[in-house]
Structure 1
Amino acid sequence: MKRLFTTNYNHRSLDIALLILRLGIAGLMLTHGMSKLNTLLDGGAIQFADPFGFGATASLALAVFAEVFCSFLLVLGLATRLAVLPLIITMLVALLTVHANDPIGKQEPALHYLLVYVVLLITGAGSISFDKLISRRNTRSRRGY
């Protein structure tokens, strides 16, 4: 019972939690991204928000890059902090332009994704990731191992 209220944490549990968070959020975002990728590859007329005037196709391609490519990087835990930046920007665009006038219920999914991506920006991928392997390798090479 005491364990329920402790503020101590086990590093291994935190790494597992970050792995679950990365895999879960990336998997969910991939469902959004894959449908956008299919729309982009279909070759038909593209109806997509263009908040910055790049054109609907370019805006869709940027969203696909973030939602598919960057989500795949999150699954691997590769360049995690860099990978979440396009995802954060995409969620901010969705929140502040596409759904700006919508009720909170429509804005809530973008807010949820945004919160998780900000947490991953702060924490990084954790030790169950390619980021950790690269970090470990770089540390060894600096020491001359």
Structure 2
Amino acid sequence: MKRIFNTNYNHGSLDFALLLLRIGIACFMLFHGLAKLTPILNGAPVQFGDPVGLGEKLSFFLTVFAEVGCSLLLLFGLATRLAVIPLIITMVVAIFIIHSNDGFGKQELAAHYLLVYVFLLFSGAGRFSVDSLISRKSGRRRSF
């Protein structure tokens, strides 16, 4: 019973939880992003909104870059803190511009993604990542 309310944590468990979170959210968003990319690979014209005034094609490219490219980086834990920044921007645009008039039901999924990406921005990838391997090779120590 004492263990249920224990607020101490094990670093190994935390690193494993970060691995599961990172891989899970990366796979979900990668699947979401690849669905956008499939029509283009089949030769269909780009039909995408222009929510921030950058143009339809550039908005599409930036969204696919975030959802596919950055999700792949996140999957491996490579440049994690940098990779989540475009994903955070994409989710903020989805919540506050694309779905601003749609109510919470349409905003909820993007808000879940946003919450996880902000968490990963602060936490980093954890020990089971390419970032950790690079950090160890460069001699930098992990500080708490």
TM-score between the two structures when normalised by the length of structure 1: 0.93
Matched with 1:15 is 15
CA contact (8 A) 1:40 1:61 kept: no
Cα shift at 1:53: 2.1
Which structure shows the higher helix fraction?
1
Matched with 1:36 is 36
Q: For residues 74 and 107 of structure 2, what CA distance do their matches in structure 1 show?
A: 23
SS in 2 for 1:26: helix
User: Which stretch shifts more, 123-132 or 56-65?
Assistant: 56-65
Q: For residues 90 and 40 of structure 2, what CA distance do their matches in structure 1 show?
A: 17
Question: Which residue identity is paired with 1:123?
Answer: S
Q: For residues 41 and 50 of structure 1, what CA distance do their matches in structure 2 show?
A: 21
Cα shift at 1:39: 2.7
Cα shift at 1:120: 0.0
Q: For residues 63 and 121 of structure 1, what CA distance do their matches in structure 2 show?
A: 19
Matched with 1:109 is 109
Q: For residues 39 and 139 of structure 2, what CA distance do their matches in structure 1 show?
A: 43
- Moved >4 Å (runs of 4+): none
Q: For residues 104 and 39 of structure 1, what CA distance do their matches in structure 2 show?
A: 28
Matched with 1:143 is none
Question: Which residue identity is paired with 2:57?
Answer: T
Cα shift at 1:2: 1.2
Whether 1:68 and 2:68 are equivalent positions in the alignment is: yes
Structure 2, unpaired ranges of 5+: none
User: Which stretch shifts more, 50-59 or 5-14?
Assistant: 50-59
Matched with 2:57 is 57
Structure 1, unpaired ranges of 5+: 141-145
Cα shift at 1:31: 1.1
Residue-pair matches, total: 140
Whether 1:24 and 2:24 are equivalent positions in the alignment is: yes
